Amino acid sequence: MRRFPLAQNRLLHAPQMAAAVLLTVLGLILAPAPASAAEIVVFAAASLKEALDEAVKLYDSRSGEASKISYAASSALAKQIESGAPADLFVSADLDWMDYLQKRGLIQPATRKSLLGNRLVIAAPADAGFTLDIRPGFDLAGALKGGHLSMADPDSVPAGKYGKAALQKLGVWNSVEGAVVRAENVRAALLFVSRREAPLGIVYSTDAAADPGVKVVGVFPEDTHPPIIYPIAMTADSKNSNAARLLEFLRSPAAQAIFEKRGFTVLE
């Protein structure tokens, strides 16, 4: 191998080194910031999909910011946050799962607000020709006619927990427990009814309104289950200042009008 004297070697590489430094500096100046750096990540209960999609789309169009929403059962989302999933905002369909995260120091308590309310109903396929008088001891088992009762998982998912509490309060849970199909979230429970795989399902009124394949055949009295409240909060790990602005927008008159149009009750 041919070797150059030390001085000659330095002179040979000087232009290359200068060019490399220049390219590095230009790269730092001109390279765009990663798209994900400012993206607002929202974890939200499945029942919020249409309303929250519309509200967040309006926010993004007005602010020029970008948001990404992941929908699932509140229980599943809370567990994902606990496991370290990156999220800036969490919107639960009940207080329990927000409390779960708060007790573990996984949300910013000062940002927590009660955002929305809802109603619990029984849905049937859209051409159902009957209604149910939901009262103590009503014959829900007879209305099923041997079919299944579709519910979000009553052991963990808010809609299912509300539904089980209501049926227990009315004294009919034991008569239908064996017929329950446990869905992973309330929208999956709704789909069983919409596809006629179950003659009846317990869902939120807003879910039924979002699916033309079903109709409401009964509304649960509000005193049969805990109040349906959707709390919202920033996660403890969020460093995205845009998330705080989105949270405030979701409590603004513009967003409230969207939620009310979709059948939610605006709280606070």
The per-residue pLDDT for range 241-256, each reduced to its tens digit, is 899 999 999 999 999 9
The answer to whether position 26 is within a domain reads: no
The answer to whether position 204 is within a domain reads: yes
The answer to whether position 9 is within a domain reads: no
For the chain, what is the radius of gyration of the CA atoms?
A: 26
The answer to whether position 50 is within a domain reads: yes
- State how far the Cα of 233 lies from the Cα of 214, in Å rounded to an integer: 32
- State how far the Cα of 63 lies from the Cα of 159, in Å rounded to an integer: 33
Who's near 262: CB < 8 A, 6+ residues apart? 50, 51, 54, 206, 209, 210
CA-nearest of 54, 66, 70, 119 to 259 is 54
For the chain, give the mean pLDDT: 89
**CATH code of residue 161:** 3.40.190.10
Contact between 251 and 115 (Cβ < 8 Å): yes
Domain count, the chain: 2
* Res 38: pLDDT: 77
- 4-8, 14-18, 102-106: which has the highest mean pLDDT? 102-106
pLDDT of residue 11 exceeding 80, the answer is no
- Check whether residue 148 and residue 163 sit in a common domain: yes
* Res 19: pLDDT: 38
Residue at a domain's end among 224, 241, 258: 224
User: Which strand ranges, in their side-by-side order, compose the sheet holding 67-72?
Assistant: 67-72, 40-45, 89-91, 229-234, 113-117, 265-266
Residue 161 structural domain: 120-224
* Res 268: pLDDT: 75
At 159-202, the pLDDT tens digits run 999 999 999 999 999 999 999 999 999 999 999 999 999 999 99
> Percent of the chain having pLDDT more than 90?
85
At 13-63, the pLDDT tens digits run 444 433 343 333 333 333 333 334 579 999 999 999 999 999 999 999 999
* Res 5: pLDDT: 36
* Res 108: pLDDT: 98
- Check whether residue 101 and residue 127 sit in a common domain: no
Average pLDDT for residues 140-163, to the nearest whole number? 97
pTM: 0.84
Average pLDDT for residues 86-103, to the nearest whole number? 98
Q: Which residue has the higher pLDDT, 11 or 135?
A: 135
Average pLDDT for residues 232-249, to the nearest whole number? 95
CA-nearest of 25, 49, 190 to 122 is 190
